[in-house]
A = this chain, B = another copy of it.
């Protein structure tokens, strides 16, 4: 009779039957929502373990209305910082008892028109939106519906207050360029931007300009190039720049990946680093210290950024409150590619 039950997983009724209580009681001891007599609870736990009973999330969600899941929206799975960031997010999400659902929005511009949205009220309690993975209109729509969201490495659409976490890009870039100018006396310092929609790149450039200004150095647009925040594009750009006769004392590559491409292009062209030209990056990727010469860069706490973003989202979900803005401090890592020894 109950034979076909054998195949499927035990349900709350099986536990209730075995423990000799009602299913509501089982539910209560599992969720500890309401006090239950300790000996009753005992029996229930025993039944649960004996049956190896595991509540079905789907049923809990349907009956409850919370999904206990946090969504992470990404433009792609790539970058030297990615592993660290995800580690931070996963840890915080898990620690708070949530599950993590990841979605890669291949084509952002068309994505906002897409329907249905892959991550939303139907399958998550809130989402972390990494820069470049969702456009302003969708973010605004979610905000309007009061759907919990936290922005990672981007600021909210104009006029909206949405919690976001980012690095102190400007201050970091500034201290880096300060070092180049003050310690090494470089005057012609080039900057390589990342993708135009990348806010990190924007703020780093501002820091670069601020440092120049502080030291009464002119801002020369001809010294601003495109490195794309990756090896290949940075490499290609520097090759071209060199052919065009670039004259510079130092190159601030925008990030470490670009820096490695820059260094290779420079070396291929017979330039010595840092004697002929210095190179610095941003991020402090794991391999930065293994480049030759070891890369002077700005250490950016990616894991912590991920951790805090997730934590903020949990706060937002559970209390409706979160810090509107978290700016994580960065630190100058002086190695040898700047000219230090």
List residues of A whose CB falls within 8 A of some B CB.
Answer: 9, 49, 52, 54-59, 61-62, 67, 76-80, 82-83, 86-87, 90-91, 94, 99-104, 115-117, 120-123, 231, 257, 260-261, 263-264, 285-287, 289-292
For A99, give its contact among B86, B101, B291 (CB under 8 Å).
B101
Contact B116 A54 (CB under 8 A): yes
What residue of chain B has the Cβ atom nearest to residue A99's Cβ? B101
Contact A231 B290 (CB under 8 A): yes
Contact B121 A9 (CB under 8 A): yes
Asked whether A56 and B62 contact (CB < 8 A) given A260-B290, A291-B290, the answer is yes
Contact A83 B77 (CB under 8 A): yes
Instruction: Please list 16 pairs of residues, one from A and one from B, whose beta carbons are closer than 8 Å in the complex, sorted by A's number.
Output: A49-B115, A54-B116, A54-B122, A56-B122, A56-B123, A57-B58, A58-B58, A77-B83, A77-B86, A82-B83, A94-B103, A99-B101, A100-B102, A101-B101, A260-B290, A285-B287
Residues of the B chain whose Cβ atoms lie less than 8 Å from the Cβ of A260: 287, 290
Residues of the B chain whose Cβ atoms lie less than 8 Å from the Cβ of A78: 83, 87
What residue of chain B has the Cβ atom nearest to residue A67's Cβ? B58
- Give the shortest distance, in Å, between A327 (CB) and chain B (any CB): 25
What residue of chain B has the Cβ atom nearest to residue A55's Cβ? B122
What residue of chain B has the Cβ atom nearest to residue A289's Cβ? B264
What residue of chain B has the Cβ atom nearest to residue A286's Cβ? B231
Residues of the B chain whose Cβ atoms lie less than 8 Å from the Cβ of A231: 286, 290
Instruction: Give the 10 A-B CB pairs with smallest separation, nearest first.
Output: A292-B292, A58-B61, A77-B87, A260-B290, A54-B116, A287-B287, A58-B62, A54-B122, A58-B58, A82-B83
For A57, give its contact among B52, B103, B123 (CB under 8 Å).
B123
- Give the shortest distance, in Å, between A228 (CB) and chain B (any CB): 14
What residue of chain B has the Cβ atom nearest to residue A88's Cβ? B77
- Give the shortest distance, in Å, between A16 (CB) and chain B (any CB): 18
- Give the shortest distance, in Å, between A259 (CB) and chain B (any CB): 9
- Give the shortest distance, in Å, between A56 (CB) and chain B (any CB): 5
Q: How many copies does the complex hold?
A: 2
Residues of the B chain whose Cβ atoms lie less than 8 Å from the Cβ of A56: 61-62, 122-123
For A90, give its contact among B54, B67, B77, B91 (CB under 8 Å).
B77
What residue of chain B has the Cβ atom nearest to residue A123's Cβ? B57
Q: How far is the CA of A58 from the CA of B9 in the complex (A)?
A: 17
- Give the shortest distance, in Å, between A149 (CB) and chain B (any CB): 16
Known interface pairs A57-B58, A80-B286, A100-B102; 14 further A-B residue pairs with C-beta atoms within 8 A, sorted by A's residue number: A9-B121, A52-B116, A56-B62, A58-B67, A59-B62, A79-B83, A83-B83, A90-B104, A91-B104, A94-B103, A99-B101, A261-B290, A285-B287, A292-B292
Residues of the B chain whose Cβ atoms lie less than 8 Å from the Cβ of A102: 90, 100, 102
Q: Which residue among A49, A101, A122 has the maximum number of chain B CB atoms within 10 Å of its CB?
A: A122
What residue of chain B has the Cβ atom nearest to residue A89's Cβ? B77
For A9, give its contact among B83, B115, B122, B285 (CB under 8 Å).
B122
What residue of chain B has the Cβ atom nearest to residue A259's Cβ? B290
Contact A57 B122 (CB under 8 A): yes
Q: How far is the CA of A201 from the CA of B293 in the complex (A)?
A: 30
Residues of the B chain whose Cβ atoms lie less than 8 Å from the Cβ of A291: 287, 290-292
What residue of chain B has the Cβ atom nearest to residue A87's Cβ? B77
